[in-house]
């Protein structure tokens, strides 16, 4: 039960740091209030967490440490407790500072730290690079490349500034130019009032449809995050014999939700308001790319970081628009570089202390 309690702490820390990442674009673009976005993030992530019981066998195996550390080490209480606590502390401390880091990265570092102390040269460095480090490295790079590649084409089809600004900004496509022209004529000619009203209603419907799509895309990211992160948190605890899969996932999902509801605001401010200005359409594009990449990775058992992918997608918008906050992004990148060694050192020290004290086997 001590190990499972530690897993609940890791899940809480994950919620505090990661919960808002799917809906950051909703709040950042002004489509939803903080409370509404937070509620939607919690519901969608909880649904993804529950779905993980059926679709995440590969991630469960990968993050149990099988093939990375020796079989005799997997499931030992000292190893499990050191890994879970080290990852949880790393993620929770970052959440308190409002820095969006990767739970996946923290877990990999923690497995490495305790594994090195316990097994030394028996740690499988080849598998570490191929199965963990390479997918993690590609996580932030792929969305940046995809979005910067797609962005020019998307801008030709969809006007990126918020639809609310269309009447006050110069038209950016023929349809909007026609709409504005007809509205101006309607003000001068009484007989065009009905046409202007119809156009206004149509534009309002378009705006609502765009907002609905934005909400759905944010929910898809939340669902993907729950699907991808939950089995990683559960894996070590299960290997140590803590409860069964379905019961573990249910309580882990609740702990993730509580962490998000109670302590996600600092990371939310960073993600939503500080990286780059976002319009609703830009936010939708970032969410679609994020959710597709994370869900695909989960289906193949690849340990990508939802944090890296979502920040990379928002960063891609900033790169394409040339208005990214590079000072903030360099700070986030530095935190990402430090995540793995921090968790690694904490885990190694915890494993050494636990085995030396004899508190756990």
Conformation bin of residue 67: beta by default, left when phi > 0, alpha when psi is -120 to 50: left
What pLDDT does 167 receive? 34
Give the whole-angstrom CA distance, residue 236 versus residue 343. Answer: 15
> Taking residues 131-157, what's their average pLDDT?
78
Beta carbons within 10 angstroms of residue 149's beta carbon: 11
Q: For 128, which DSSP code?
A: I
Give the whole-angstrom CA distance, residue 317 versus residue 333. Answer: 17
Across the chain, what does the average pLDDT equal? 80
Give the whole-angstrom CA distance, residue 190 versus residue 202. Answer: 20
User: pLDDT per residue over 31-79, tens digit each?
Assistant: 889 999 999 999 999 999 988 877 666 667 667 667 778 878 877 889 9
In the chain, % of residues over pLDDT 70: 79
Give the whole-angstrom CA distance, residue 109 versus residue 325. Answer: 28
What pLDDT does 147 receive? 86
Please determine, for residue 133, whether its predicted confidence score (pLDDT) is greater than 70: yes
Query: In the structure, what pLDDT confidence band is assigned to residue 349 with cuts at 50, 70 and 90?
Result: very high
**Cα-based torsion angle of the residue sequence 304, 17, 63, 228 in order, rounded to the nearest 10 degrees:** -50
Tokens of 102: 């990767």
Tokens of 252: 């882990």
> Taking residues 97-118, what's their average pLDDT?
89
Give the whole-angstrom CA distance, residue 103 versus residue 18. Answer: 8
Helical ranges in the chain per DSSP H: 2-18, 24-28, 34-55, 57-62, 77-96, 103-119, 125-127, 134-157, 174-188, 193-239, 245-263, 265-269, 280-299, 306-321, 326-357
**Predicted TM-score (pTM) of this structure:** 0.78
CA 56 to chain centre: 17
Q: Please answer whether residues 323 and 277 qualify as being in contact, where contact means their C-beta atoms are separated by less than 8 angstroms.
A: yes
User: pLDDT per residue over 246-272, tens digit each?
Assistant: 888 899 999 999 999 999 999 999 888
Q: Please answer whether residues 336 and 308 qualify as being in contact, where contact means their C-beta atoms are separated by less than 8 angstroms.
A: yes
Give the whole-angstrom CA distance, residue 126 versus residue 133. Answer: 10
Give the whole-angstrom CA distance, residue 338 versus residue 96. Answer: 16
Query: So where are the chain's domains?
Result: 2-172+199-357
Please determine, for residue 190, whether its predicted confidence score (pLDDT) is greater than 70: no
Give the whole-angstrom CA distance, residue 26 versus residue 95. Answer: 20
């Amino acid at each position: 039960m001590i190990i499972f309690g530690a897993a609940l702490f890791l899940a809480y820390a994950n919620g505090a740091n990661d919960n808002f990442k799917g809906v950051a674009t909703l709040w950042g673009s002004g489509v939803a209030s903080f409370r509404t976005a937070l509620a939607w993030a919690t519901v969608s992530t909880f649904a993804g967490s529950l779905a993980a019981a059926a679709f995440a066998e590969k991630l469960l195996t990968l993050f149990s440490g099988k093939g990375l550390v020796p079989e005799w080490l997997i499931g030992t209480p000292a190893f499990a407790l050191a890994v879970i606590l080290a990852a949880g502390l790393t993620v929770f401390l970052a959440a308190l500072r409002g820095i969006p880091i990767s739970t996946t990265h923290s877990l990999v570092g923690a497995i490495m730290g305790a594994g090195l102390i316990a097994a030394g040269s028996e740690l499988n460095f080849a598998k570490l690079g191929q199965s963990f480090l390479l997918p993690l490295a590609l996580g932030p790079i792929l969305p940046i490349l995809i979005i910067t590649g797609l962005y020019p084409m998307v801008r030709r089809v969809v006007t990126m500034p918020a639809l609310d600004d269309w009447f006050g900004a110069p038209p950016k496509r023929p349809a909007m130019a026609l709409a504005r022209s007809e509205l101006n004529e309607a003000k001068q000619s009484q007989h065009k009032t009905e046409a202007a009203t119809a156009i206004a209603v149509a534009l309002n419907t378009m705006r609502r449809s765009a907002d609905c799509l934005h909400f759905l895309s944010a929910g898809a990211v939340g669902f993907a995050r729950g699907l991808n992160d939950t089995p990683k948190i559960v894996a070590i605890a299960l290997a140590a014999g803590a409860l069964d899969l379905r019961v573990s996932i249910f309580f882990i999902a609740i702990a993730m939700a509580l962490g998000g509801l109670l302590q996600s605001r600092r990371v939310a401010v960073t993600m939503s308001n500080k990286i780059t200005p976002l319009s609703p359409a830009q936010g939708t594009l970032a969410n679609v790319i994020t959710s597709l990449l994370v869900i695909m990775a989960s289906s193949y058992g690849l340990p990508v970081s939802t944090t890296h992918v979502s920040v990379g997608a928002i960063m891609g918008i900033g790169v394409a628009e040339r208005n990214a906050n590079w000072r903030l992004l360099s700070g986030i990148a530095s935190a990402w570089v430090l995540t793995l060694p921090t968790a690694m050192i904490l885990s190694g020290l915890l494993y050494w202390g636990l085995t030396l004290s004899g508190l756990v086997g």
